[in-house]
Structure 1
């Protein structure tokens, strides 16, 4: 069965730590580049997803330079570019689910930014749609989060805690298998 690599939101705007806050996993971009190279060499499908924020103040808004893909992804010979303005790549344009179905692709491997947002949402939807989903956890990264939540007060989680929780939720919940880049490079 053919599998596709889905590279989510690897955009320059995520390097703006004044906007996003503290992050983790500085090896993310190198791991994504290694996966892209491996998929290209094997002539397996590569899907690149770009987040086009509706908020003009976001580094990911199409009018801002941060909307651009990082070099390792921009130079890749992607089979499909999906643009979206929500968390899931399955709600983008063109229709990812239809594209995968037309090609008989039942297995997807996800990487990119943010682990607990767009990567996790796409993994959950992919699992619910019947795909065999793998997340290359060390080819993702995210940012610290803080929010006042009714009944809980101020809640803070570090990027590392969020990555761990996402991995646990996805794998224990049956949505996806968690793997490392090195495991996927030998497949």
Structure 2
């Protein structure tokens, strides 16, 4: 039987990203973690399922190695008792994990995705969720990314990358929503 509530998938809200910022990398959406905190509070208040995803680096210089400070989750987004933590080693939270099995076993059909970064693990997980047939919502103001240099040396701002990622996913893989819309949907039930 389908689960009546959506599941919140919180991707890679880890300290490595704070370290990148401190080292001079520029990001967009500075309020994203605050919106994730709002989503966590709403899902908890409504008894809706929450799954925390952590990235475990595999390369020797990765900021996400378990032995490094960047692996730790940001305090604001820490899991509570009973909220599963799923560790992944690639961009998709579905590859090499039991996330899909857990979701299907619980009858969960709707996913609300937030976290970091928009164009990496969030995008890859969102694409796969859509391909796997989940009713997927990506929370535009609860995810962020960083400036990047393209293969031709062109500079791309975090805002530009974020907007393009949302455009690529919209309609085909997910519905793009705001944290406020997700929270309001609980009141409508």
TM-score, normalised by the number of residues in structure 1: 0.92
Counterpart selection for 1:117 from 120, 131, 145: 120
Note the alpha carbon deviations across 1:46-88, whole angstroms, 9 max, x for none.
Answer: 0000000112322211110110001122153452211011100
Change (3 A) 1:62 1:129: same
Bigger share in strand: 1
Q: Which residue of 2 aligns with 1:103?
A: 106
* Count of aligned residue pairs for this structure pair: 181
Distance in 2, Cα, partners of 1:6 & 1:171: 18
In 2, the alpha carbon distance for the partners of 1:78 and 1:139 equals 23
Q: Gaps (5+ residues) in structure 2?
A: none
Q: Which runs of 4+ in 1 moved over 6 A?
A: none
Alpha-carbon distance change, 77 to 165 in structure 1, aligned in 2, over 3 angstroms:
farther
**Residue 51 (structure 1) aligns with:** 55
Residues 20, 128 of structure 1: CA spacing in aligned structure 2 closer, same or farther, 3 A cutoff?
farther
1:20 CA displacement: 7.4
Distance 1:18 1:115 in 2: 19
CA contact (8 A) 1:82 1:92 kept: no
- CA deviations on 1:137-165 (whole Å, 9 max, x unpaired) are 100010011133xxxx2232111001100
One of 70, 76, 90 as aligned partner of 1:86: 90
